[in-house]
Amino acid sequence: MRVEYVTSNIAIAEGAMASGLRFFAGYPITPTSDILEYLAEELPKRGGVVIQLEDEIASINAVIGASWAGAKAMTATSGPGYSLMVEALSFAIITETPLVVVYVMRAGPSTGVPTRSCQYDVFQVRYGSHGNYELPVLVPWSAQEAFDLTVKAFNVSEMLRVPTVILSDAMLAHTWEKVIIRNPSELEIVNRRKPEVPPQEYMPFKPGEDLVPPMACFGDGYKVMVESLTHDERGYYSPTTEVQERMIRRLVEKVRRNSHLIVDYETYFTSSAEYMFFAYGSTARSVYALVRELRREGIRAGLYRPKTLWPFDEGGLKKVASKAKRVFVVENNVGLMYKEVARVLRDKEVISVGIIDLDVPSPDRIKEVISEWL
Amino acid sequence: MRREIIIAGRGGQGILLLGHVIGVAAAKFSNYYVTGTESYSAETRGGDSKAEIIVADSAEELGYMKVREADVAVFMYGDQLVKYSRLVRQGAVVFADSTFVTEVPERGWVLKLAPYTKIAETELGTPRVANMVALGHLVGVTKLLSTEAVEKAIEHVVKKSWVELNKKAFRRGLALTSN
């Protein structure tokens, strides 16, 4: 364990290395580039490989290949780069390739303001690829949590054989904080399950009880099938409704049924809260400061802060919000996760507090907007 | 304990380095939690440069990562003092480089003026270490960090060939406290 003063980007790079990252491919993009730069310096010292490729498409495809070669692999990008990656991400989903994508949100659409922050991409990250699937998305609010959730992202990805995203933003990327960087021996590290049957009996897409198939990689001595067409348990193309349904339902259910291993949240003063705030990422920092201020003024405010945006934790939210009179969803966009919160808390008054700020909505600005409802 | 610190001046005055040394001293060489943000303009010299640092006893106390009501401020130039004075609370301890800051508005601050750049230039041989003179003054007056923690942070952050001069400048700044 060591203590450093670093940004969330560097904390993510450190978290990845602590998780056993062996391969990183990326293409520079503000505000994410320093992950690539830092890993280019540090990962080779630990025996890993870093490649800068010609674009984001090549980067994520190289990461998929590395994962099938048995390496824990990651790429990092921002909005425009993620837009290019979504096709290959869909390939990673159907082939059940464990990998981690770091997505540092910056103000768009298009090139927007590349150096500045937003929370516009909470739906794109989840639904950007084609197909019907689940995709875990973890959302840190500090540099320390960026480290911790990166470790978790690798574990989830390896455990469920699903691409997993760490969704940060430019504000966090540029904020320096104290981070406790743990060594691998001090962390719980999960590795993908390998087949236990003899090679002649191995079926590459036959799931275990957790709905996840054990994964043989190239060179393990097993028949390896990386099939992007709809496939049966043997990995053979099977264009039938029966196989399609079985495959789609399993891809979705392996995440949903194991969602207790993924979803997580923190609450602050919610047990006695009349007004409950829902906020995530950098914006939750402002809301937390505001909630403390409101408490000092005698207003019974509380904060529910998801650490995972997807799968959306309906149960956790319902439980925590059960006593709240009003729920404010504060985001650095025009109101996106609000739609999910309102859907889940149908019997509550849910108010969207969407504030556009190129850094992070300030506690004062949020207070100004919500004051008419207090 | 939670303290908000703002440091502002012009690009080239070592504002970000000063903020970074405080951050490292607090996070790595003291037992504090720290959040630091930086902003600077595109020009390499002459534009605005600002570091905001929040130091607290616990991670929970950090909250919002930007300065709203600074308890401590360092202004290395007059323009930025005027521009960012709204972020400095009444009763704050405000350090300013009197080499360039000639006028300070009445805001109920505890003012600590010294010619950091002039001292750096005439006594230490280069204006480039004025930031460390200011840091010494800040640490001497506020006692926010130990001398040892700051010197370790300087060794950690500053390029090797500059460490001794920076530490010397820091100690010169500390000595301003006794004046």
Q: Does residue A161 sit at the B interface (CB-CB below 8 Å)?
A: no
CATH code for the domain defined by A266-373: 3.40.50.920
Beta bridge partners of B75: B8, B96
Which contiguous run of DSSP H or E holds residue B112?
strand B110-114
* β-strands A2-7, A176-181 pairing: antiparallel
- What CA–CA distance (Å, rounded) separates A142 from B144? 23
Phi and psi, residue A367, nearest 5°: -60, -45
Q: How far is A8 from chain B (nearest CA, A)?
A: 11
Residues of A in contact with B59 (CB under 8 A): 142, 144, 178
Strands of chain A (E only): list them: 2-7, 21-26, 49-52, 72-77, 100-105, 137-138, 164-169, 176-181, 265-268, 275-278, 301-306, 308-310, 326-331, 349-354
pLDDT, position B44: 60
pLDDT, position A120: 98
Q: Does residue A352 sit at the B interface (CB-CB below 8 Å)?
A: no
Residue spans of the domains in chain A: they are: 2-186, 266-373
Model confidence pLDDT, tens digit, residues A282-319: 999 999 999 999 999 999 999 999 999 999 999 999 99
pLDDT, position A79: 98
Check pLDDT > 90 for residue B133.
yes
pLDDT, position A291: 98
Model confidence pLDDT, tens digit, residues A145-184: 999 999 999 999 999 999 999 999 999 999 999 999 999 9
Could you identify the residue written with the tokens 């004062």?
A: A364
| pTM metric for this prediction | 0.97
- What CA–CA distance (Å, rounded) separates A191 from A134? 20
pLDDT, position A99: 98
pLDDT over 70 percentage in chain A? 100
Check B34 against A282: CB less than 8 A apart: no
Q: What number is the ipTM of this complex?
A: 0.94
Check B23 against A282: CB less than 8 A apart: no
**Residue pair A358/A107 in contact by the 8 Å Cβ criterion:** yes
Check pLDDT > 70 for residue A39.
yes
Q: Does residue A174 sit at the B interface (CB-CB below 8 Å)?
A: yes
pLDDT, position A359: 96
Identity of the residue in B34, B63, B64 whose CB atom sits nearest the CB atom of A5: B34
What average pLDDT does range B89-104 have in this prediction? 96
Check A177 against B32: CB less than 8 A apart: no
Q: How far is A154 from chain B (nearest CA, A)?
A: 25
Helix (H, G, I), strand (E, B) or coil at A74: strand
Q: Which two tokens stand for residue A162?
A: 């699903």
**Residue pair A40/A53 in contact by the 8 Å Cβ criterion:** no
Decide if A2-186 and A266-373 have a common fold: yes
Check B36 against A177: CB less than 8 A apart: yes
Could you identify the residue written with the tokens 């995203």?
A: A165
Residues of B in contact with A288 (CB under 8 A): 63-64
**Residue pair A315/A304 in contact by the 8 Å Cβ criterion:** no
Which contiguous run of DSSP H or E holds residue B22?
helix B15-27
**Per-residue confidence band for A30, with pLDDT thresholds at 50, 70 and 90:** very high
Chains A & B: contacts with CB separation below 8 Å: 66
pLDDT, position B42: 65
pLDDT, position B43: 59
What average pLDDT does range B27-39 have in this prediction? 96
Phi and psi, residue A249, nearest 5°: -60, -40
- Domain A2-186, CATH among 3.40.50.9100, 3.40.50.970, 1.10.3720.10, 3.40.50.360: 3.40.50.970
Q: Does residue A292 sit at the B interface (CB-CB below 8 Å)?
A: yes
The residue in chain B having the minimum alpha-carbon distance to the alpha carbon of residue A362 is B64
Count each helix (H run) and each strand (E run) in chain B, helices first.
6, 6
Residues of B in contact with A178 (CB under 8 A): 26-28, 32-34, 59
pLDDT, position B47: 82
Domains contained in chain B, CATH given: 2-178 (3.40.920.10)
- What CA–CA distance (Å, rounded) separates A157 from A161? 5
Interface probe for A, chosen from B64, B145, B152, B155 (most Cβ of A below 10 Å), is B64
Q: Does residue B64 sit at the A interface (CB-CB below 8 Å)?
A: yes
What average pLDDT does range A17-40 have in this prediction? 98
Residues of A in contact with B36 (CB under 8 A): 5, 175-177
pLDDT, position B40: 79
Helix (H, G, I), strand (E, B) or coil at A240: coil
pLDDT, position A111: 94
Q: What does pLDDT average to over chain A?
A: 97
Check A285 against B62: CB less than 8 A apart: yes
What average pLDDT does range A269-288 have in this prediction? 97
The residue in chain A having the minimum alpha-carbon distance to the alpha carbon of residue B25 is A5
Model confidence pLDDT, tens digit, residues A320-352: 999 999 999 999 999 999 999 999 999 999 999
pLDDT, position B39: 86
Check A4 against B28: CB less than 8 A apart: yes
Q: Does residue A178 sit at the B interface (CB-CB below 8 Å)?
A: yes
Identity of the residue in B26, B63, B68 whose CB atom sits nearest the CB atom of A285: B63
Angle formed at CA A345 by CA A344 and CA A351, multiple of 5 degrees: 115
